[in-house]
Structure 1
Amino acid sequence: MFDYQVVSEKNSLSRQGTEFTNECIRVNKVYDWVLLNTDEIKNIAIPAASLTVLQPLIDAGNVLRVVGKLTPADVTTKIVSIVRKTVIINEKEIEIGCAQILITANLTVEVYNNTTGSTIPVVTFPVTFQMLERVGLCFPQPFTSNNITTNVLSANAVALSDVPIDGNFIFEISICQDVYVETEVKLEVQGKFCEPRDNTLDCGTGSLSLACNKPTFPPQCPDIFPSS
């Protein structure tokens, strides 16, 4: 068993370095960031086995309800091509990249019988479909597709028909993603080291605490690097 020295007051160590100094840091710089919404009407083919179940229900006058289940986890994106071009913005030539994004979505279709009110779908089937989207991005040389990141934020599928139309259900698909261009850079900034605060919020943990030494960092060599 270890013996700890318990103190009744928290340490009041002074901050390490109170003056701002020139510091060189390594960070990812964002060159462009776009919120991209893709809306498309899709005809979703109904499998023959599901049609065999649904058609007799429709012929008997049952009212159906079609539900599409689609979440961000069901969607993947991939940059398939980038075409460089130069555009004029504010009388300046800007090099951009026209990126084509392939969206692949795995949709689950469920059909319920509203006439009976059953909460169990009469048919369920998965379907995979793809969409193409284009976006113009700030894209200086020598950037490649590795400098582009996509992140699906939301995905939704709304049925526009509750009965088959030429063997299809019609869905409105909406997928929102953010697309950003970034690369690692080294920046010289004015800054100073920060430190954690004391545990001063009362959450019923008691009045005693251990003596903790706040972390310190080795000093920079300002006469060597960075120099300005």
Structure 2
Amino acid sequence: MKAQPLCGAQELLCINAEKVYDWVILQSSDSRTVIEIFFPENGFNPCAPGVSNLVTTCILTDASGTPVSLSSPNALTVEEIGTRDSREFIVDGAVVTLQNVSWVKSIYIVLEYTGIFEAAPFVFRSQPVLFEIPESAFLCAPEGTDLLVRLTDFNCRTRFNCLSEFNSSVDVFLTICQSVQTFANVTLELEAEFCQPRDIINEQCPSPVIPPQCPVIFPANGLAGR
């Protein structure tokens, strides 16, 4: 029997989906001092005399040092720690039981140094620097739900410090915004219509356009000069 396309027919459908139990946006901050040691053989010495316009920036990367975007699954890793202890809250006059969820998120950044040394520009990148940030929040997270954390914004500020001619440190200040959700896989029963492909849009040639004329002066029907 050949299946026939459905046009406008509705039926009950069972689909697998992720049900979101809770969703919050959190902001966290962290800072640390990164010790950098530079040697002349690597061609980079930001603390040497003659270095000017030194700028230090942060690049969000994965563990190997490859730059990643905020939406990349490699932008951070999350490990939930501890147990989810329950606590009751009064919200709008109703008693709500929430769970205290704790986790550690790991983020890698690469420090990029740019500047000028004796009129020659230079660019140098450090090895990936690991930031491990512990966090916790009260969420609707009953047993059977999973935790999902995604980066939504990332801001980094740095301060470069020369400790000696070949030894320096960089103070790194991070501000991170993240979407935090608890979810579980569920099977839903929905009454819906099947979707159909849309019509193809074809590009059509436009009709010829006649340039505007100047009837006041031409053709003047023999009236010109009167």
TM-score, length-normalised on structure 1? 0.64
Q: How does 1:46-57 map to 2 (within 5 A)?
A: 46-47=36-37, 49=39, 53-57=45-49
Q: Which has the higher helix share?
A: 1
Distance change >3 Å, CA 179–CA 117, structure 1 → 2: farther
Report the counterpart of residue 87 of structure 1 in structure 2: 89
Q: 1:113 aligns with which of 112, 115, 132?
A: 115
SS of equivalent residue, structure 1 residue 28: strand
Task: Please report how far the alpha carbon of residue 21 of structure 1 lies from its aligned counterpart in structure 2 after TM superposition.
Answer: 6.0
Distance change >3 Å, CA 197–CA 162, structure 1 → 2: same
Letter aligned with residue 85 of structure 1: R
For the 8 Å contact 1:113–1:122, the answer to whether it is kept is no
Q: 1:35 aligns with which of 20, 25, 41?
A: 25
Letter aligned with residue 150 of structure 1: V
Distance of 2:79 and 2:183 partners within structure 1? 16
Report the counterpart of residue 192 of structure 1 in structure 2: 192
Counterpart check, 1:163 vs 2:172: no
Letter aligned with residue 55 of structure 1: C
Letter aligned with residue 199 of structure 1: D
Task: Please report how far the alpha carbon of residue 196 of structure 1 lies from its aligned counterpart in structure 2 after TM superposition.
Answer: 0.9
Counterpart check, 1:178 vs 2:187: no
Distance change >3 Å, CA 89–CA 180, structure 1 → 2: same
Unpaired segments ≥5 residues, structure 2: 61-67, 205-226
Query: For residues 106-144 of structure 1, what are the alpha-carbon distances to aligned partners after superposition, in whole Å with 9 as ceiling and x for unaligned?
Result: 22112222465654325634322211122221123x235
SS of equivalent residue, structure 1 residue 192: strand
Q: How does 1:62-77 map to 2 (within 5 A)?
A: 62-70=52-60, 71=68, 72=70, 73-77=74-78
Distance of 1:123 and 1:56 partners within structure 2? 17
For the 8 Å contact 2:51–2:115, the answer to whether it is kept is no
Identity %: 16
Distance change >3 Å, CA 64–CA 150, structure 1 → 2: same
- What is the CA RMSD across the aligned residues, in angstroms? 3.2
Letter aligned with residue 78 of structure 1: E
Q: How does 1:73-152 map to 2 (within 5 A)?
A: 73-81=74-82, 82-114=84-116, 116=118, 118-121=120-123, 124-140=126-142, 142-143=143-144, 147-152=146-151
TM-score, length-normalised on structure 2? 0.65
Letter aligned with residue 105 of structure 1: I
Aligned length: 182
Distance of 1:134 and 1:65 partners within structure 2? 34
For the 8 Å contact 2:116–2:122, the answer to whether it is kept is no
Distance change >3 Å, CA 116–CA 66, structure 1 → 2: farther
Give 1 or 2 for the bigger CA radius of gyration: 2
Distance change >3 Å, CA 126–CA 183, structure 1 → 2: closer
Q: Which has the higher strand share?
A: 2
SS of equivalent residue, structure 2 residue 122: coil
For the 8 Å contact 1:158–1:171, the answer to whether it is kept is yes
Distance of 1:66 and 1:36 partners within structure 2? 27
Distance change >3 Å, CA 116–CA 202, structure 1 → 2: farther
Distance of 2:114 and 2:59 partners within structure 1? 13
For the 8 Å contact 1:64–1:115, the answer to whether it is kept is no
